[in-house]
Chain A
Amino acid sequence: AQTVTQSQPEMSVQEAETVTLSCTYDTSENNYYLFWYKQPPSRQMILVIRQEAYKQQNATENRFSVNFQKAAKSFSLKISDSQLGDTAMYFCAFSDNNAGNMLTFGGGTRLMVKP
Chain B
Amino acid sequence: DVKVTQSSRYLVKRTGEKVFLECVQDMDHENMFWYRQDPGLGLRLIYFSYDVKMKEKGDIPEGYSVSREKKERFSLILESASTNQTSMYLCASSLRQGRYLAKNIQYFGAGTRLSVL
Tell me the chain A residues, 63-107 only, with Cβ under 8 Å from chain B.
Answer: 91, 95, 97-103, 105-107
- B side interface size, CB within 8 A: 28
Binding site of A, secondary structure by majority: helix, strand, loop or mixed? loop
In the bound complex, CA of A113 to CA of B54 (Å): 43
Is the Cβ of B48 less than 8 Å from the Cβ of A47?
A: no
Q: In the assembled complex, how far is the CB of residue B104 from the closest CB belonging to chain A, in whole angstroms?
A: 5
Q: Are B110 and A44 in contact (CB under 8 A)?
A: yes
Residues of B within 8 A of A47 (CB): 105-106
Across the interface, which residues of B come within 8 angstroms of A9, CB to CB? 40
Q: When the two chains form their complex, are residues B108 and A45 in contact, meaning their CB atoms are under 8 A apart?
A: yes
- For residue B41, which residues in chain A have a CB less than 8 angstroms away from its CB? 107
> What total count of A-B pairs have CB within 8 Å?
62
For window 90-117 of chain B, which residues contact chain A by CB distance below 8 Å? 90, 92, 94-97, 103-106, 108-111
With A33-B103, A42-B110, A47-B105 as given contacts, are A102 and B42 in contact (CB-CB < 8 Å)?
Answer: no
| Least CB separation from A47: chain B residue | B105
The docked-state distance in angstroms from the alpha carbon of A42 to that of B40 is 18
Asked if B50 and A100 make an inter-chain contact with CB atoms under 8 angstroms apart, the answer reads yes
Q: Are A102 and B96 in contact (CB under 8 A)?
A: no
- Option from B42, B97, B106 in Cβ contact (under 8 Å) with A107: B42
* A-B interface, 3 closest residue pairs, ranked by CB to CB distance from nearest: A45-B108, A105-B42, A105-B43
Footprint of A on B, CB under 8 Å? Answer: 31, 33, 35, 40-45, 48, 50, 56, 58, 88, 90, 92, 94-97, 103-106, 108-111
Question: Could you list 11 examples of A-B contacts with CB < 8 Å?
Answer: A9-B40, A35-B104, A45-B92, A95-B104, A101-B94, A101-B97, A101-B103, A102-B58, A103-B45, A105-B42, A107-B42
